[in-house]
């Protein structure tokens, strides 16, 4: 049910976020062009994006980053998976320039409208993902090798952040179970932990947000990781992921709050005991291990019953498991977790 937005959103995390969350698309682009990103702010941060780039942001949604080799470009566009080929009922596809300029990626600061600029300093090729822990085929892989190894497909998924913004975008990648099968976990493995990169010289947030326990880490049960819906993201909107969306490789878990969908992964570890997670370690009262989207389970500081679609700016009702109960509901029936 679509409810027209009538009031501003007073979100707790908005303490440092400019009013640009209320801007329309043209205004966002204009604001960036006008240099609301002050060079002065940038100069206190070292070794990342230079002041000139910040004053002159390039085109917001480049089709491919320059360093993407021709062999990888040739995989695009990916065939849609028929189960996820449609925009969900009552929703619209979020315009790419909106999705690409409103990001959570604390490694590049807490201002969602500027992450796409600061994230340009992240070098994503070459890249290594270490697959380790309780598995028979531990190995290190370059995400570019995932294309030949697993093939790719496109899936249109809803995304719902715990802060109550949401979007609908087409991801490109492969089902995560394929990677788990290749690793071949032993019978002791019950969980999978994922870890992001640690490169403070390329990530301004890792330099300045020292209160956080870098690098970012997340985890799933093995049953969740092998559910059909769990997706390994390599691209979005017909091209490889730009840095702000988690290049070169991230998780896309549409039935869980967005923070579970960890970006720019460098390590995957199979474990017997429940792993720690970044937000749960920081604030266990607010961010659980499972973190499934559930409108009837309020966050301690706000209701989760509605969300704001960043494309349409409309308030919509939040659905249990973000509308994916038919895929994942069985995982959470009593005794299955």
Ligand X SMILES: Nc1nc2c(c(=O)[nH]1)N[C@H]1C(S)=C(S)[C@@H](COP(=O)(O)O)O[C@H]1N2
The footprint of ligand X (CB under 6 A) covers: 103-107, 159, 161, 196, 216, 245-246, 258-259, 261-264
By a kind-dependent CB cut-off of 5 to 8 A, residue 21 interacts, out of Mo ion, ligand X, none, with: none
33/284 with CB nearer Mo ion: 284
By a kind-dependent CB cut-off of 5 to 8 A, residue 160 interacts, out of ligand X, Mo ion, none, with: none
Under the binding rule (CB under 5 A), the answer on residue 291 touching Mo ion is: no
Rg of the chain, C-alpha, whole Å:
19
By a kind-dependent CB cut-off of 5 to 8 A, residue 103 interacts, out of Mo ion, ligand X, none, with: ligand X
By a kind-dependent CB cut-off of 5 to 8 A, residue 311 interacts, out of ligand X, Mo ion, none, with: none
107/315 with CB nearer ligand X: 107
104/113 with CB nearer ligand X: 104
Q: Evaluate the CA torsion angle 247, 216, 166, 153 in order and state its sign.
A: positive
Question: From residue 170, how far is each of 151, 207, 243, 260, 309 by CA, in Å?
Answer: 16, 32, 16, 18, 15
The pattern of x and - marking residues 142 through 181 that bind Mo ion according to CB under 5 A reads -------------------x--------------------
By a kind-dependent CB cut-off of 5 to 8 A, residue 263 interacts, out of ligand X, Mo ion, none, with: ligand X
The C-alpha angle with vertex 174 and arms to 171 and 176, in degrees rounded to 5, equals 110
235/246 with CB nearer ligand X: 246
Per DSSP bridges, beta strands 165-175 and 306-309 are: parallel
42/241 with CB nearer ligand X: 241
14/41 with CB nearer Mo ion: 14
Find the residue with minimal CB distance to ligand X. Answer: 258
106/147 with CB nearer ligand X: 106
**Residue 115 Cβ vs ligand X, minimum distance, rounded to whole Å:** 7
In contact, 270 and 261? CB cutoff 8 Å = no
**Residue 170 Cβ vs ligand X, minimum distance, rounded to whole Å:** 13
**Residue 160 Cβ vs Mo ion, minimum distance, rounded to whole Å:** 8
How many positions of this chain bind Mo ion (CB under 5 A)? 4
**Residue 98 Cβ vs ligand X, minimum distance, rounded to whole Å:** 10
In the chain the beta strands, taken as DSSP E runs, fall at 2-3, 129-133, 139-141, 153-160, 165-175, 191-196, 217-221, 231-236, 239-240, 250-252, 265-271, 306-309, 315-317
Structure token digits, residue 56: 């002159």
Under the binding rule (CB under 5 A), the answer on residue 258 touching Mo ion is: yes
By a kind-dependent CB cut-off of 5 to 8 A, residue 84 interacts, out of ligand X, Mo ion, none, with: none
**Residue 109 Cβ vs ligand X, minimum distance, rounded to whole Å:** 10
Return the residue matching tokens 């009031």. Answer: 7
Selected from 101, 103, 104, 240, the binder of Mo ion by CB under 5 A is: 104
Question: From residue 225, how far is each of 84, 121, 248, 260 by CA, in Å?
Answer: 18, 30, 19, 12
**Residue 164 Cβ vs ligand X, minimum distance, rounded to whole Å:** 10
168 beta partners: 158
| Gap between the Cα atoms of 245 and 62, Å rounded | 13
Q: Could you please report the per-residue DSSP string of 296-314?
A: TS-BTTB--SEEEETTT--
| Gap between the Cα atoms of 240 and 27, Å rounded | 27
Binding-site ranges for Mo ion (CB under 5 A): 104, 161, 258-259
């Amino acid at each position: 049910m679509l409810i027209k937005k009538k009031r501003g959103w007073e979100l707790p995390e908005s303490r440092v976020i400019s009013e640009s969350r209320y801007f329309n698309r043209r205004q966002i682009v204009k604001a960036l062009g006008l240099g609301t990103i002050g060079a002065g702010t940038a100069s206190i941060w070292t070794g990342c994006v230079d002041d000139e780039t910040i004053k002159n942001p390039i085109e917001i949604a480049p089709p491919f980053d320059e360093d993407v080799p021709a062999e990888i470009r040739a995989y695009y566009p990916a065939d849609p998976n028929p189960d996820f080929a449609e925009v969900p009922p009552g929703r619209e596809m979020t315009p790419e320039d909106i999705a690409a300029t409103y990001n959570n990626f604390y490694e590049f600061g807490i201002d969602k409208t500027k992450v796409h600029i600061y994230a340009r300093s992240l070098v994503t090729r070459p890249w290594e993902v270490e697959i380790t822990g309780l598995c028979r085929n531990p190995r290190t892989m370059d995400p570019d090798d995932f294309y030949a190894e697993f093939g790719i497909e496109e899936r249109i998924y809803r995304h719902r952040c715990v802060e109550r913004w949401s979007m609908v975008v087409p991801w490109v990648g492969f089902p995560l179970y394929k990677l788990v099968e290749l690793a071949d976990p032993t019978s002791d493995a019950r969980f999978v932990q994922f870890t992001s990169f640690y490169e403070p010289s390329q990530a301004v947030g890792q330099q300045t947000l020292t209160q956080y326990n870098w690098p970012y880490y997340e985890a799933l049960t093995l049953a969740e990781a092998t559910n059909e819906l769990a997706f390994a993201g390599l691209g979005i909107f017909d091209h490889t992921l730009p840095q702000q969306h988690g290049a070169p490789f991230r998780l896309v878990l549409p039935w869980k709050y967005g923070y579970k969908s960890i970006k720019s992964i460098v390590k995957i570890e199979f474990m017997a005991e429940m792993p720690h997670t970044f937000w749960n370690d920081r604030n266990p009262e607010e961010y659980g291990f499972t973190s499934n989207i559930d409108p009837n389970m309020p966050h301690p500081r706000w209701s989760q019953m509605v969300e704001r679609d960043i494309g349409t700016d409309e308030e919509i009702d939040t659905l249990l498991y973000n509308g994916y109960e038919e895929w994942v509901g069985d995982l959470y029936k009593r005794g299955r977790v």
